[in-house]
């Protein structure tokens, strides 16, 4: 500890160089943490969803509707406690760039099935259920567009053609990522009223009595509808969500490779800067050795310097990534809900910091330790 002032003096001698190196380490770790968070957020999105809920969708593809009559038949399957349904509404608010998810749902049964995953005052829930052109929105969506309760919002349908004026009757907070706060719920009946011969439920959500029976229930449902004109594909809600994540393809591999390239590039910058410093101080090393500093101590001093730079960079970079993304409510237009840096990513980032310190300090530290005093003093720039 008593050598701290010496390390500090060395670090502050070239203030600009130390600052720039620290900043590049910070940028690298910021970028690394951000890219890694894309991977972890996508993975987390694939893992949300309750095991007690199941999704019944068309076996042909998700874009096919299922008959309304399936609701009664699904409720009759042993083990099914409740059933609701939803549709992807696909409306545009003012500009296609303002993308957010809207679901056309059967309000009462849908909110019952998801009870416990959101928080909304009871009177707002009742107001939404009562009014066919009412809608509810997540708090973060409300804030994003600066809406307020009671406001009229007009959506332009891309799937369900026409203008759809809806009134915000409720604002909910999400208690579980499965119930996204970046989403809007409207009435299925509002859509059905205008397209009675066409629109049918896009998928059914089932609440099971006992999650352990999920495989049997799924098999029972799919075999019941197997030979109909609308066969079904039933799976857990988690599997349903995961299927959307796999649609991104090998994005994880891409993010991880870029992250590695970033770390390598900055490793070179940091190592170079440490080598520049060491080279300039050859004489000093000689002096220190002459007055009795041991090889090991000199090795430690250089390593401490590299460690200091890496640690400062890590605090800045990882800290910025942890604070910044939640602060600006970044969600990549809803594709990455709840985007944030996980503890696992932070741990990985710290591991990289240690590697960075060792890799950038090792060569200069070794050469400082091995240098003989005579040689060092002879060396004059």
Partner 1 sequence: MKIPLVYNIRSLARRPVSNAMTALGVAFVVGVFIATLALANGFRMALVKTGSPDNVVVLRKGADSELASGISRDHAAIIGALPEIAAASDGAPLVSPEVFVPMDIASASGGGAQLVVTRGVTTRAFEVRRSVHITAGRMFAPGRDEVIIGAAIAPRLAHSAVGDTIHFGGRGWLVTGHFAAGGSAFESEVWGQNEQLMPVLRGEFFQVVVFRLRDRSRFGAVQQKLQNDPRLQVDARRESDFYASQSAVLRTILNFLAIFITSIMAVGAIFGAVNTMYAAVASRTSEIAVLLTLGFRPRSVLASFLAEAAFLALVGGLVGCLVALPINGIVTSTTNWSSFSMIAFQFLVTPRILVEGLIFSLVMGVLGGFFPARRAARMPVVEAIR
Selection from 317, 316, 313 nearest residue 270 by Cα: 313
Q: Which stretch binds partner 1 (CB under 8 A): 44-52, 53-61, 176-184, 284-292?
A: 53-61
Point out which span in 12-20, 205-213, 288-296, 348-356 binds partner 1 (CB under 8 A).
12-20
Residue listed under structure tokens 């990513």: 345
Q: Which of 246, 230, 248, 227 is nearest to 238 (CA)?
A: 246
The first and second tokens of residue 31, run together, are 């970028």
- Helix and strand numbers (H, E) in the chain are 14, 11
CB of 35 to partner 1, least distance (A): 7
Residue 319, phi then psi, degrees to nearest 5: -65, -45
Q: Which is nearer to partner 1, 258 or 373 (CB)?
A: 258
By CB under 8 A, tell whether 92 contacts partner 1.
yes
User: In the set 48, 56, 168, 266, which binds partner 1 (CB under 8 A)?
Assistant: 266
- Taking the complex as a whole, the smallest distance from the CB of residue 112 to partner 1 amounts, in Å, to 29
Tokens describing residue 69: 């009559």
| Token pair 């970028």 in the structure block, residue | 31
Beta-carbon neighbour count of residue 141 at 10 Å?
24
Among 7, 82, 159, 324, binds partner 1 (CB under 8 A): 159
State the binding string over 64-83 for partner 1 (x if CB under 8 A, else -). x-------------------
Rg (CA), the chain: 30
Phi, psi of 62 (to 5 degrees): -65, -25
290 binds partner 1 (CB under 8 A): no
Among 51, 69, 99, 154, binds partner 1 (CB under 8 A): 99
Using rule CB under 8 A, residue 375 touches partner 1: no
CA–CA gap between residue 211 and residue 97 (Å, rounded): 39
> Judged by CB under 8 A, does residue 43 bind partner 1?
no
DSSP 49-117: S-SSEEEEEESS-TTS---TTHHHHHHTSTTEEEEEEEEE--EE-SSTTS--EEEEE-HHHHHHHTTTS
Q: Which is nearer to partner 1, 80 or 190 (CB)?
A: 190
Which is closer to partner 1, CB of 35 or CB of 113?
A: 35
Q: Which of 135, 113, 140 is nearest to 125 (CA)?
A: 135
Q: Report the residue from 272, 290, 372, 375 that binds partner 1 according to the rule CB under 8 A.
A: 272
Q: Is 231 in the site for partner 1 (CB under 8 A)?
A: yes
Q: 75 vs 268, which CB is nearer to partner 1? A: 268
Tokens of 316: 């800045």
By CB under 8 A, name the one of 52, 124, 243, 342 that touches partner 1: 243
Size of the site for partner 1 (CB under 8 A): 55
Q: Check residue 104 for interaction with partner 1 (CB under 8 A).
A: no
Which residue from 103, 63, 61, 49 is spatially nearest to 241, judged by alpha carbons?
Answer: 49
Rounded CA gap, 52 and 209, in Å?
8
C-beta atoms surrounding 29 within 10 Å = 29
Judged by beta carbon, residue 105 or residue 274, the one nearer partner 1 is: 274
- Min CB(377)–partner 1 separation in Å: 19
Residues 6 and 13: their CA atoms lie apart, in Å, by 11
The binder of partner 1 chosen from 264, 290, 351, 355 (CB under 8 A): 264
Site residues for partner 1, 314-373, by CB under 8 A, read: 332, 335
What residues between 108 and 147 interact with partner 1 by CB under 8 A? Answer: none
Q: Is 176 in the site for partner 1 (CB under 8 A)?
A: no
Contacts with partner 1, residue ranges (CB under 8 A): 16-17, 20-21, 23-24, 27-28, 30-31, 35, 59-64, 90, 92, 96, 99, 156-159, 161-162, 229, 231, 233, 243, 246-251, 254, 258, 261-262, 264-266, 268-269, 271-273, 275-276, 280, 332, 335, 381
């Amino acid at each position: 500890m008593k050598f701290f002032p010496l390390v500090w003096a060395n670090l502050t001698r070239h203030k600009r160089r130390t600052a720039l190196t620290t900043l590049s380490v910070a940028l690298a770790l910021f970028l690394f943490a951000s890219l890694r968070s894309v991977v972890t957020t996508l993975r987390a999105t694939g893992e949300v969803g309750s095991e007690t809920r199941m999704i019944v969708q068309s076996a042909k593809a998700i874009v096919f509707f299922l008959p309304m009559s399936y609701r009664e038949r699904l409720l009759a399957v042993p083990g099914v406690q409740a059933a609701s349904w939803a549709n992807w509404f696909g409306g545009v608010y003012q500009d296609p760039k303002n993308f957010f998810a809207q679901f056309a749902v059967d309000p009462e049964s849908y909110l019952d099935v998801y009870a416990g995953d959101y928080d909304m005052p009871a009177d707002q829930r009742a107001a939404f259920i009562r009014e066919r052109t009412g809608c509810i929105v997540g708090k973060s969506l409300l804030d994003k567009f600066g809406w307020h309760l009671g406001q009229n919002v007009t959506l332009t349908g891309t799937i369900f053609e026409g203008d759809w004026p809806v009134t915000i009757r409720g604002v909910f907070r999400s208690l579980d990522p499965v119930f996204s706060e970046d989403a809007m719920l409207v009435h299925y009946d509002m859509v059905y009223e205008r397209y009675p011969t066409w629109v049918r439920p896009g998928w059914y959500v089932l609440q099971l009595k006992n999650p352990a029976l999920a495989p049997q229930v799924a098999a029972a449902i799919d075999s019941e509808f197997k030979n109909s004109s609308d066969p079904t594909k039933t799976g857990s809600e988690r599997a349903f969500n995961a299927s959307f994540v796999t649609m991104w393809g090998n994005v994880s591999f891409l993010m991880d490779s870029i992250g590695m390239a970033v770390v390598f590039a900055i490793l070179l910058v940091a190592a170079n800067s440490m080598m520049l410093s060491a080279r300039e101080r050859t004489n000093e090393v000689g002096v220190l050795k002459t007055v009795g500093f041991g090889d090991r101590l000199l090795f430690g001093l250089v390593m401490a310097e590299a460690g200091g730079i890496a640690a400062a960079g890590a605090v800045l970079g990882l800290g910025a990534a942890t604070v910044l993304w939640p602060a600006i409510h970044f969600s990549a237009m809803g594709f990455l809900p709840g985007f944030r840096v996980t503890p696992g990513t932070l741990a990985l980032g710290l591991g990289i910091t240690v590697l960075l310190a060792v890799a950038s300090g090792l060569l200069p530290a070794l050469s400082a330790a091995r240098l003989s005093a005579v040689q060092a003093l002879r060396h004059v720039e």
